Structure 1
């Protein structure tokens, strides 16, 4: 049977201070009047019934998710004891789904992406499911690059397989490049952005994990044995303590020989930074703005206003964010370093209330 797994445990620190520990990115309503999580659930519903939609998160966000998408059964919300990266997060969900259905096929989706042309999204996912069932592979969704983006990973594709929507064997994965390399990849023409969306059978994914992450696999299978017993929570906590977290890209997708990529036609953005979010703002005198702002003799700034009026006078290449009790003023070129800033703030106990 077909299931959707939505990953919703991240902090979204690259959108700080809009995204906070108490209200992370997946709950933000920054493009339309719905949160990213709400949009993700609504987007997949035409393909997967609500009773087969699952969400994996941490304890901190469990109740928020229940309130945000109340139609999702509480038993369908998997809770991780701690954050051990995406390979573990997806692996835990895979063993839980496999316990319920030995033929489970998973559509794995981040909770915080923006997608347009939803009908084409549905067609792509149908193609991915067909490929998974026919070839028993691990399928990822690739996006044709439109700019030399340094914030995304890339996928180099090889020969095309017989399919309606362009589908290829994966030659290799490449992590976030610097600007010069990103320009070369754009010109090369055989690289796609790595969207972080996947489709696979749960059993096939776990077999690949057994090959490439055998220690993590062993821990997860111990959890599998305890599912639906009185010891499940205790065993899960114990095994999670022993797992060394790693992303699914580093841990499995870069190593497997079973990877395929579908080149999608829908509009996609992971809104992972203020630069990406700025593309969806209104243009005002050469600046991108939302909320309450007035700009004079200023250019190429991104302004995220709230209740206060933000006035820009004679400024250039800045990001300014008014978010409740925090105001951020940042050089646009520091966009990819915001996570570093938040980590530095964590070291200062006096700043903890602002995170």
Structure 2
């Protein structure tokens, strides 16, 4: 609740779980064996399928049985050996193309250009392509080219890519996902 959150901030003796974990392989495997043995069993079945038929093996039956549980709750809250390391560093959730633009190195016109390019009177754009890209008089665009698709979006609408993904699923255009 908000009252508790404000108190935690005021006291200043708590840590924020950033969701970043590090461990030895043996340690995390043992933690799964101790706390989520079903996951280990399912992963072993997946591994066996991959060894028998390759990476394209159908693992949908195993995957559908995986517990829908974050590692924080399933493992970390129960772990006996854990430490918290306080750090103070800049962090950004790169969950959108705009966020990626924000943390990328920019040219003198504030463009991020991951391509061969010719740019005239254009600023604050993010462009990723394997082709030559020319921009003339545009601002605040995200332009992304892949082998089979092209995305052009205003930067302030870049989080709407999720809507496009949903639309692709609805239209059964899975080859573009």
TM-score band (shorter)?
A: 0.5 to 0.7
Could you say which residue in structure 1 is the equivalent of 2:78? 256
- Output the TM-score relative to the length of structure 1: 0.33
Instruction: Measure how far apart 1:319 and its partner are.
Output: 1.2
Q: Relative to structure 1, is the Cα distance of residues 322 and 242 closer, same or farther in structure 2, using a 3 angstrom cutoff? A: closer
Q: Relative to structure 1, is the Cα distance of residues 354 and 293 closer, same or farther in structure 2, using a 3 angstrom cutoff? A: farther
Instruction: Measure how far apart 1:294 and its partner are.
Output: 0.9
Could you say which residue in structure 1 is the equivalent of 2:18? 194
Greater share of strand: 1
| Residue segments in structure 1 that go unaligned for 5+ positions in a row | 1-180
Please tell me whether the aligned partners of residues 109 and 123 of structure 2 are also in contact (alpha carbons under 8 angstroms).
yes
2: CA distance, partners of 1:189 / 1:330: 42
Computed over aligned residues only, the root mean square deviation of the Cα atoms, in angstroms, reads: 4.4
2: CA distance, partners of 1:347 / 1:324: 22
- Output the TM-score relative to the length of structure 2: 0.58
Which residue of 143, 154, 168 maps to 1:320?
143
The answer to which of 190-199 and 298-307 deviates more is 190-199
Could you say which residue in structure 2 is the equivalent of 1:354? 176
| Residue segments in structure 2 that go unaligned for 5+ positions in a row | 54-58
Superposition pairs for residues 183-222 of structure 1, below 5 Å? Answer: 191=15, 194=18, 196-200=20-24, 202=26, 206-207=30-31, 210-211=34-35, 213=36, 217-218=37-38, 220-221=40-41
SS state of the match for residue 135, structure 2? Answer: strand
Could you say which residue in structure 1 is the equivalent of 2:154? 331
Please tell me whether the aligned partners of residues 293 and 310 of structure 1 are also in contact (alpha carbons under 8 angstroms).
yes
Indicate the structure whose relative CO is greater, using CA pairs within 8 Å and at least 6 residues apart: 1
Q: Relative to structure 1, is the Cα distance of residues 261 and 210 closer, same or farther in structure 2, using a 3 angstrom cutoff? A: same
1: CA distance, partners of 2:79 / 2:147: 48
Deviation string, structure 1 residues 70-110 (Cα, Å, up to 9, x no partner): xxxxxxxxxxxxxxxxxxxxxxxxxxxxxxxxxxxxxxxxx
Could you say which residue in structure 2 is the equivalent of 1:283? 107
Please tell me whether the aligned partners of residues 322 and 328 of structure 1 are also in contact (alpha carbons under 8 angstroms).
yes
Q: How many residues align?
A: 157
SS state of the match for residue 306, structure 1? Answer: coil
2: CA distance, partners of 1:353 / 1:208: 34
Could you say which residue in structure 2 is the equivalent of 1:26? none
